Chains A and B, each alone.
Chain A
Amino acid sequence: MIEFSGVSKSFGKVQALDRVSFSVGEGEVFGLLGPNGAGKTTLVKIATLLTLLDSGTCRVHGLDVRRDGAAIKRVIGVVPQANNLDRELTAYENLLIYGMLHKVPALKTIIEESLRSVDLWERRDSVVSGFSGGMQRRLLLARALLAQPDVLFLDEPSIGLDPQIRRQMWDIIRKIRIDGRTVLITTHYIEEAEALCDRVGILTKGKLTALDSPAKLKSQAGEYVVEFIGSDGALQQSLCRTEAEAAEAARRCTLSSVVRPTNLEDVFVRLTGRGAE
């Protein structure tokens, strides 16, 4: 459904993407993880026709981004990282214009359904600039779904939202998953990827360094982690294959230590060398 094959992209001397290859299957929710500047948004911009790739191929719904841009536009919905709603227009006007651009039939009914689904119908005539960050993200999601796209790109959909609102967003994304749409989410919230995604890919400095289901990535890295405070005062981690191996490592540790199951963030830190939010 979404296929990247050897995709490279440079901005001047900066190599944003370096021969990235992976594919997202039909109906799959795929998470792209990586620290800031890893190339996640560039990859989304290539697939959603905002940025031209330098080399490689990218296909969306079987269509090539170089040749079939017009057809791709009919099957994608995008929630960008930067809010690109018309802030001077009302919620209703934003969806009206988007629906007309995408030739959505029975538009008024669809707009009402969309606004109700994200709890914004009562605020339909309010100007968007007066909305909270969470309301604006929900409206972006409603707009992206208005034309019933087969493929949805969510670039940091819950960035900057408080935990409660983030979980509301997750509920909406889970409903999208039930509808059978293909979804590519970029995020640097590890728990978001763990909660929503069938598979994740980890991008580090423009390269894909891991690709599998969250469970398998954790299993490959080691099922258990030993955490202890090192002599420099920093938190140290050691990934172990089995609980017994972890217990033995903890026993050898002279300082107090904790053994716990590995989570996706541990995998992320190991592969990227950086913490996540």
Chain B
Amino acid sequence: MTLPFDWYPVFLREMLLFKHKLLRVGYLFSAMVAPIIYLITFGLGLGRYVTVQGGSYLTFLIPGLVAMTSMNNSYAWVASSLNLNRLYFKTFQVLVQAPLSSASILIGEILAGIVKGLFASALILIVGHLSAPSFAVTFIFTVALLLNCFLFASLGVIVGMRAKSHEDTATYSNFVIMPMAFLSGTFFRVDTLPPLIKAVVYVLPLTHTNILIRKAAMDAAAWISLAVLIVYAFVCFGYGAWLIRNYNE
């Protein structure tokens, strides 16, 4: 088996499009507005009166916001771009008709999604550091962040390939991504939830990113969350590759 290294033009294309988008004034603002509102409302406002396990709520909140932001941006970039390119702009045809493997297309798109997720996360981290100077980025934090971007970019490929219209991608966002952002421990500790709700919440991949990203050192819970994220990532990657390989208009 040969490794697909032909992903670079696919990735470069997305980066060129990203560069053109970045030059627009409103783009940066739109990427940052929601998490910064959460940071101000929950972290600097409500958070002044709350502590989590003896620590400041802001220090608890920032990793959650980074996980949520990386999820939103990695997912939305890939899902939206792939769906529009497939159904409306037809630019996906150019990739399908080029002599490269479906895995190369997938990897290029996912890497672009990861970059987008990391970029938005970096903006939150900068604001977070200014708000809570004691907050530190650890190795586990970095692994969790990268894995989260990979997983949700892969999920974006699935949605982008399956959605029958651009409105459909919004439906997936409203029923999957948005509830996950609020229920998966971004704003609160999930281990204090009632057992039934906790069982549901632990199925959600973002819950495991939130557990892992807040760990200072690997313990049993961290290893379990890491394993769950890896399994989710593999499943999404495999299904995404299958969808691209079987593309048929």
Contacts and interface: CB of A to CB of B under 8 A. Distances in A.
Contact of B100 (A78, A84, A88, A101): A101
Interface of A: 45, 48-52, 70, 73-74, 76, 78, 80, 82-89, 93, 97-98, 100-103, 127
A84 B98 contact: no
A48 B96 CA distance: 10
Contacts of B93: 50, 78, 80, 84
Contacts of B6: 101
B97 A48 contact: yes
Given A84-B90, A89-B17, A97-B12, A102 B99 contact: yes
Contacts of A85: 91
Interface string B118-150: 000000000000000000000000000000000
Contacts of A45: 249
Main secondary structure of the interface of B (DSSP, over half): helix
Contacts of B17: 86, 88-89
B95 interface: yes
A70 B100 CA distance: 7
A84 B88 CA distance: 9
A89 B91 CA distance: 12
Contact of A101 (B9, B16, B21, B90): B9
B180 to A, nearest CB: 30
A101 B98 contact: yes
Contacts of A102: 98-99
- 6 closest Cβ pairs, A-B complex: A100-B9, A101-B98, A84-B90, A73-B99, A97-B13, A101-B9
Contacts of A103: 99
Interface string B16-53: 11001100000000000000000000000000000000
Given A88-B17, A100-B12, 15 more contacts: A45-B249, A50-B249, A51-B248, A70-B99, A76-B97, A80-B93, A84-B90, A84-B94, A88-B20, A89-B16, A89-B17, A97-B12, A98-B94, A101-B9, A101-B10
Interface string B234-249: 0000000000000111
29 contacts: A48-B97, A49-B96, A49-B97, A51-B248, A73-B98, A73-B99, A74-B99, A78-B93, A78-B97, A80-B93, A84-B89, A84-B91, A86-B91, A87-B89, A88-B17, A88-B21, A89-B16, A93-B16, A97-B9, A97-B13, A98-B94, A98-B98, A100-B9, A101-B6, A101-B10, A101-B95, A101-B100, A103-B99, A127-B20
Given A74-B99, A89-B17, A101 B249 contact: no
Interface of B: 6, 8-10, 12-13, 16-17, 20-21, 89-91, 93-100, 247-249
Contacts, number: 65
Given A52-B248, A88-B20, A80 B98 contact: no
A156 to B, nearest CB: 14
A80 B16 contact: no
Contacts of A100: 8-9, 12
A93 B96 CA distance: 18
Contacts of A89: 13, 16-17, 20
Given A51-B249, A82-B90, A101-B9, A73 B97 contact: yes
Nearest to A127: B20
Nearest to A93: B16
A151 to B, nearest CB: 12
